[in-house]
Structure 1
Amino acid sequence: MRILIATSHRAVVGGVETYLRAALPLLRGRGHEVGLLCANPAPADAPVIDAACPGLVVQFAPDPGRAVAVAAGWRPDVVFTHELPDPAADAALAERFPTVYFAHNYAGACVSGTKCHAAPAPQPCARALGPMCLALYGPRRCGGLNPLTAVRLYRTNRRRQATFPRYRAVLVASEHMAREVVRNGAPTERVHLVPLFPTGTSPDARPPVPKPRTGRVLFVGRITRLKGWNELLAAVPAASAQLGRPLTLVVAGDGPDRAAFEAGARARGVPAEFLGWVGPERREAEMRAADVLAAPSIWPEPFGLVGIEAGCVGLPAVAFATGGIPDWLRAGVSGELAPSSPNSEALAAALVRALSDEGHWQRLRIGAWEAAKRFTPEAHQEKLVTILEAAAQRVALERLRPEP
Structure 2
Amino acid sequence: MDITHVQSSFIAPLGGAESYVLALATEQARRGDDVEIVTAWTDPLTVERANQAGVRVRTVRVRRPYRPDQHGGGPAAKILFHSLDLIGALAPTPLVLDVQKPGRLVHVHRFQGLGGQVLRARLSPVVHTAHDYCLVDTTSTTIRDGLEPDDLGDVQRLRARAIWRAARHASILVFPSERTLARHRALGMPRDGVEQRVVPHGWPAPAAASPPVDPSVRPRFVFLGKLQAAKGVSLLLRAWALLGVDAELVIAGDGPERPAVEHAAAAGLVTYAGWVDGDAKAALIASATALVFPSLWPETFGLVIAESLLMGRPVVATPQAAGSFVRDGENGLVSADATAEALAGALRRIARDASLRARLARGAAASATALDFGSHVDRVTTVYADAREIFARRR
Relative to the length of structure 1, the TM-score reads 0.79
Q: Structure 1, unaligned stretches of length 5 or more? A: 135-153, 400-404
- How far residue 110 of structure 1 moved from its aligned partner, in angstroms, is 1.4
> Could you tell me which of 355, 370, 387 is aligned with 2:351?
355
Name the residue aligned to 1:103: 130
Structure-1 residue corresponding to 2:21: 20
Q: Deviations over 1:119-145 (max 9, x none)?
A: xxx22x2435550758xxxxxxxxxxx
Q: Which amino acid letter does the alignment assign opposite residue 257 of structure 1? A: E
Using the TM superposition, give the Cα deviation of residue 328 of structure 1 relative to its aligned residue in structure 2, in angstroms: 0.8
User: For the Cα contact (< 8 Å) 1:81–1:101, is it kept in 2?
Assistant: yes
- Equivalent position of 1:164 in the other structure: 167
8 Å CA contact 1:101, 1:170 repeated in 2: yes
| Whole-angstrom CA distance in 2 between matches of 1:47 and 1:2 | 19
Secondary structure of residue in 1 paired with 2:226: coil
Quote the Cα distance in structure 2 between the aligned partners of 1:353 and 1:211: 13
Which of 304, 326, 329 does residue 329 from structure 1 map onto?
Answer: 326
Letter of the 1:202 counterpart: P
Mapped contact 1:227–1:298 kept (Cα < 8 A): yes
User: Partner of 1:149 in structure 2?
Assistant: none
2: CA distance between counterparts of 1:55 and 1:203?
21
Structure 1 position 174, deviation (Å): 2.3
Could you say which residue in structure 1 is the equivalent of 2:308? 310
Q: Residue 242 of structure 2: which of 238, 243, 255 is its match? A: 238
Q: How does 1:71-110 map to 2 (within 5 A)?
A: 71=99, 74-84=101-111, 85-91=113-119, 93-110=120-137
Structure 2 equivalent of residue 278 of structure 1: 276
* Deviation, structure 1 residue 303: 1.5
Instruction: Give yes or no for contact 2:331–2:363 (8 Å, CA) kept in 1.
Output: yes
Equivalences for 1:56-75 in 2 at 5 Å?
56=56, 58=58, 60=60, 62=62, 65-71=93-99, 74-75=101-102
- Are the counterparts in 2 of residues 21 and 48 from structure 1 also a CA contact under 8 Å? no
C-alpha distance in 1, partners of 2:116/2:226? 31
Superposed CA deviations along residues 209-261 of structure 1, whole A, max 9, x for unmatched, are 7543322221112222222222222322433x3xxx41222111222222223
Q: Secondary structure at the match of 2:371?
A: coil
Which of 337, 342, 348 pairs up with 1:346?
342
Q: Distance in 2 between matches of 1:128 and 1:384?
A: 32
Return the match for 2:197 from 183, 192, 209: 192
Q: What's the offset of the Cα at 1:390?
A: 0.6
| Residue 180 (str. 1) matches residue 197 (str. 2) | no
* CA distances 1:25-62 after superposition (whole Å, capped 9, x unpaired): 3223334343443334x344554574245484846364
Distance, in Å, in 1 between the alignment partners of 2:32 and 2:211 is 34
The amino acid that maps onto 2:251 is: V
Aligned equivalent of 2:220: 216
Tell me the alpha carbon deviations over residues 293-343 of structure 1, each in whole angstroms, 9 at most, x when there is no partner. 1111122222111111112222211111105x221100000100013x421
1:115 alignment counterpart: 142
Partners of 2:289 and 2:386 lie apart in 1 by 44
Contact 2:25/2:55, CA 8 A, preserved across alignment = no
Structure 1 CA distance, aligned partners of 2:60 and 2:276? 32
Name the stretch that deviates more: 179-188 or 356-365.
Answer: 179-188
Q: Quickly say closer, same or farther: Cα 1:14–1:215, change in 2 above 3 A.
A: closer
Partner of 2:7: 7
User: Which residue of 2 is the match for residue 251 of structure 1?
Assistant: 251
Which protein is bigger by CA-based radius of gyration? 1
Cα pair 1:203 1:312 within 8 Å, conserved: no
3-state DSSP of counterpart to 1:298: coil
CA gap 1:66/1:254 in 2 versus in 1, 3 angstroms: same
Q: Closer, same or farther in 2 for the Cα pair 1:27/1:130, shift >3 Å? A: farther
One-letter code of the match for 1:160?
A: I
Amino acid of the structure 1 residue aligned with 2:17: V
List gaps (5 residues or longer) in structure 2: 63-87
Does structure 1 conserve the Cα–Cα contact (< 8 Å) formed by 2:2 and 2:105? yes
Alpha-carbon shift at residue 77 of structure 1 (Å): 4.8
CA contact (8 A) 1:2 1:78 kept: yes
Kindly indicate whether the alpha-carbon contact (under 8 Å) linking 1:311 and 1:371 is maintained by their aligned counterparts in 2. yes
Contact 1:165 1:187 in 2 (8 A): no
Residue 319 of structure 1 contacts residue 338 of structure 1 at CA under 8 Å; is this kept in 2?
yes
The letter of the residue matching 1:231 is L
